[in-house]
Amino acid sequence: MRAFVLDAYGRPLNEADVPEPIVGDRDVLVQVAAAGLNRLDAKIQQGALKLVVPYTPPVVLGHDVAGRVVEVGSAVRSFAPGDRVLARPRDPRIGTFAERIAVDEADVAPTPPAITDVEAASLPLVALTAWQALVERGRVRPGQRVLIHAGSGGVGTIAIQLAKHRGAHVATTASSAHAAFVRELGADVVIDYRTQDFVRELAGYDVVLDSLGGENLERSLRVLRPGGAAIGIQGPPDPAFAREAGLNPLLRVGVSGLSRRIRGRARRLGVSYEFLFMRADGAQLREIAALVESGAIRPVVGAVHPFADTAAALAGLGTTSIRGKTVITVP
């Protein structure tokens, strides 16, 4: 079958023929209709995450999939051939930039009937990230104040809607060109990051979801109330992540060092910092799908490319300002 393969870190993806997936007893074989592009794919391609999620090239990239089930393993009970599904395959079983992929049944959810495969493919990674940050980690509840950075991006567009659905007062950062759009998604306050300083404008927030890292993350600590939490998805990794990832003791020490500064600063301010590296979870995807079906969350797709343009589309990720996600379609 055809797939886009990473032959070596730092090199562009290459279209190639690869073996058909092996379908295990608890696997669902999906004929890929569409796949979402994520910065996680670009980081893996560049070799930036070799210590955290090590892959041995050649490897097929891609973390989001939507399509139809064509085969199920002998122990699968929740899905049957012909079902429309979406998934974020677990590490290290990624590989959605391909015609077919075998995914563990536990990572799969039915596609809401009201949305297209392109819309479905835009959801898994970013929606699970938003869910795990705001529901699982942040425990956002009615009346709380939540700041979501980069509100017009892939994670931001879903996070704004999810936080609003949970009854929070939502602030976000975005360009003036996207201000009206993020307000439509549910943002109560929009900070133009080009002309306004969010630290001067905001205070007393319960949760910050930061997708930018660096100085932006450090400054975000200052808008939190005492006891508030900053959840970062761009790093730096913290000791809890190192333990959960099963890193060896030497790497755990190194990872702890990467986040020592930000954790110390948070402690002095009476707040906390947590690093989130989202994980596959079909049960959470089902809850997200129910919110999509009810209209509480809508997918946001900013660009669609044909399968043949996968390598170029991934290389261009982040170089243009689009709303929501970039998706490729597989014929």
Average of pLDDT values for 271-288?
A: 97
pLDDT at 321: 82
CA-nearest of 39, 244, 49, 64 to 137 is 244
pLDDT at 241: 80
pLDDT at 305: 98
The b/e string for 30-51 (b: 16+ C-beta within 10 A; e otherwise) is bebbbbbbbbbbbebbeeebee
Judge whether 318 and 312 are in contact, CB under 8 Å.
no
pLDDT interval class at 240 (50, 70, 90): confident
Query: Residue 219: is its pLDDT beyond 90?
Result: yes
- CA dist 66 and 75 (Å) reads 22
Query: Residue 158: is its pLDDT beyond 80?
Result: yes
pLDDT at 238: 85
pLDDT at 249: 78
Query: What percentage of the chain exceeds 70 in pLDDT?
Result: 100
CA-nearest of 324, 310, 233 to 60 is 310
- 34-69 pLDDT, tens digit per residue, is 999 999 999 999 998 887 788 989 999 999 999 999
pLDDT at 49: 85
Please provide the average confidence, as pLDDT, over all residues in the chain: 95
pLDDT at 53: 81
Measured from the Cβ of residue 219, the count of other Cβ atoms closer than 10 Å reads 14
Average of pLDDT values for 134-158?
A: 98
Average of pLDDT values for 186-202?
A: 97
Average of pLDDT values for 166-177?
A: 97
pLDDT at 226: 98
- CA dist 159 and 276 (Å) reads 14
pLDDT at 253: 77
Judge whether 132 and 278 are in contact, CB under 8 Å.
yes
pLDDT at 143: 98
Query: What percentage of the chain exceeds 90 in pLDDT?
Result: 87
pLDDT at 52: 75
pLDDT at 32: 98
- 1-20 pLDDT, tens digit per residue, is 999 999 999 999 999 999 99
Window from 46-55, 189-198, 211-220, 270-279 with minimum mean pLDDT: 46-55
Judge whether 78 and 105 are in contact, CB under 8 Å.
yes
Would you state the structure tokens that stand for residue 125, as one six-digit string?
Answer: 């990674």
- CA dist 28 and 108 (Å) reads 8
Average of pLDDT values for 206-214?
A: 96
pLDDT at 22: 97
**How many residues comprise the chain?**
331
pTM of this structure: 0.96
CATH classification (class only), 2-123+299-329 = alpha beta
Query: Residue 114: is its pLDDT beyond 80?
Result: yes
CATH 3.30.1330.10 applies to domain 125-275: no
- 83-113 pLDDT, tens digit per residue, is 999 999 999 999 999 999 999 999 999 999 9
pLDDT at 206: 98
- CA dist 218 and 79 (Å) reads 45
Q: How many helices (H) and strands (E) does the chain have?
A: 11, 16
pLDDT at 244: 76
CA 185 from centre of chain: 18
Domain map of the chain by residue range? 2-123+299-329, 125-275
Sign of CA dihedral 68, 101, 244, 131: negative
